[in-house]
Amino acid sequence: MAKNLYIQHYCRIKNNKVYLNGDLIFEENSEDIKSFLKSVYQFLDPKYSKFFKMDALSKLAFLSAEIILKDINTENKNIGIILSNNASSLDTDRKHQDSINDKENYYPSPAVFVYTLPNIGIGEISIRHQLKSENGFFVFEKYNANFHHNYENILIQNNKSEAVLGGWVNIDEDSYEAFLYLISENGTIEHTEQNLKQLYTN
Amino acid sequence: MEDLKLELKNNIIELLNLEDVNVDEIKDDDSLFGDGLGLDSIDALELIVMLDKDYGIRLSDPKEGKKIFESIEVMAAYISEHRTK
């Protein structure tokens, strides 16, 4: 019998604002994305110094997940992670490219290079919450509610995951946007393509 | 030597994004890896690049780093002896 699935929690980070389940929980007019993400970190205070070593995309994914999972016991939970975006890891790819452009001054940074894949953000969330689960990172032109709904549904209905952390995490230079949510058998908002689309556009 | 130690502490904090660590919290003989500053394998690679870029020291065997990066004291002594810039 098919399980009834819900959007248990959802989080939006955009335009210097952070929303949880539609409510504004943090706002700060920062000069750039780096300062804003640091302020969100200080607001959440997860006491996780590895955060400062992450690239901006991973920081955004990490903070969004932190907001959604902070009151959820993730120990021994099989929570899959399905994320997508438009710019892949381009923001960090450019930084890496800059460090290797000059053959006379060729010092690629290992700490930058390790983030030249978008799915590293999934790894950071998994390490933080000790998740050893199904995961995937996809690149689309824009948030694809149909794809996400299908993939998240299949994972849970086929018992590959108990719950799924899904959504869109995109960064390109100073443009950023995160829409993350937790799909599970708990909650009140039905997990439908229409609801995902509506929460994303609101 | 004291100037070099201070320079190394400042560089390590900036290079490795140790935002919650102050220069005066790093003792000269503190372990940089493990229980000390808690640096990881990617940090070790960054330090190898820093040796080359800032001091002209190229490690032929990355395993040498394990000994050289034991502490600020050991690093400073090694750099003083081998630097080419």
Q: Which chain A residues contact residue B16 at CB under 8 A?
A: 53, 111
Q: Kindly determine whether residue B49 and residue A52, on different chains, have CB atoms separated by under 8 Å.
A: no
Q: What is the pLDDT of residues B15-58, one digit of tens each?
A: 998 888 899 999 999 999 987 788 888 999 999 999 999 999 99
Which pLDDT value is given to residue A14? 96
Which pLDDT value is given to residue A166? 98
When the pLDDT of each residue in chain A is averaged and rounded to a whole number, the result is 96
DSSP B33: B
Does any CB of chain A come closer than 8 Å to the CB of residue B58?
Answer: no
Domains of chain A: 6-201 (3.40.47.10)
> Residue B12: pLDDT band by 50, 70, 90 thresholds?
very high
Which contacts of B66-74 are long-range, i.e. CB under 8 A and separated by 24 or more positions? B69/B32, B69/B33, B69/B39, B69/B44, B70/B31, B70/B32, B71/B28, B71/B29, B71/B30, B71/B31, B71/B32, B71/B36, B72/B5, B72/B8, B72/B9, B72/B26, B72/B27, B72/B28, B72/B29, B72/B30, B72/B32, B73/B5, B73/B28, B73/B29
Residue B48 amino acid letter: I
Alpha helix locations (H) across A81-141?
A: 90-100, 110-113, 120-129
Q: Kindly determine whether residue A52 and residue B20, on different chains, have CB atoms separated by under 8 Å.
A: yes
State the CB neighbour count (10 A cutoff) for residue B50: 20
Alpha-carbon gap, residue A93 to A115, rounded angstroms: 8
Does any CB of chain A come closer than 8 Å to the CB of residue B54?
Answer: no
Nearest-CA distance B74 → chain A (Å):
23
Which pLDDT value is given to residue B29? 93
Closest residue of chain B to A55, computed from CA coordinates = B17
Alpha-carbon gap, residue A172 to A169, rounded angstroms: 10
Which pLDDT value is given to residue B52? 93
* Residue bearing tokens 């950071």: A124
Nearest to A112 by CA among A87, A126, A91: A91
What totals of helices (H) and strands (E) does chain B contain, helices first?
Answer: 4, 0
Homologous superfamily (CATH) of B2-82 is ACP-like (1.10.1200.10)
Which pLDDT value is given to residue A186? 96
Which pLDDT value is given to residue B20? 80
Alpha-carbon gap, residue A90 to A78, rounded angstroms: 30
Which pLDDT value is given to residue A13? 98
> Residue B7: pLDDT band by 50, 70, 90 thresholds?
very high
> Residue B63: pLDDT band by 50, 70, 90 thresholds?
confident
* Residue bearing tokens 């590959």: A160
Nearest-CA distance A198 → chain B (Å):
38
Do A10 and A21 touch, CB atoms closer than 8 A? yes
The verdict on ipTM greater than 0.85 is no
Which pLDDT value is given to residue A104? 83
Q: What residue ranges do the domains of chain B occupy?
A: 2-82
Nearest-CA distance A28 → chain B (Å):
20
Residue A135 amino acid letter: N
Burial pattern A168-177, b for ≥16 Cβ within 10 A else e, equals bbbbbeeebb
- Rounded to whole angstroms, what are the CA distances from A192 to A6, A22, A72, A122, A169? 8, 17, 22, 23, 20
Which pLDDT value is given to residue A6? 98
Pick out chain A residues at pLDDT < 70: none
> Residue B65: pLDDT band by 50, 70, 90 thresholds?
confident
pLDDT of B76 over the 90 cut: yes
State the CB neighbour count (10 A cutoff) for residue B73: 15
pTM of the prediction?
Answer: 0.92
Which pLDDT value is given to residue B60? 81
Nearest to A165 by CA among A141, A139, A191: A191
Nearest to A184 by CA among A200, A162, A168: A162
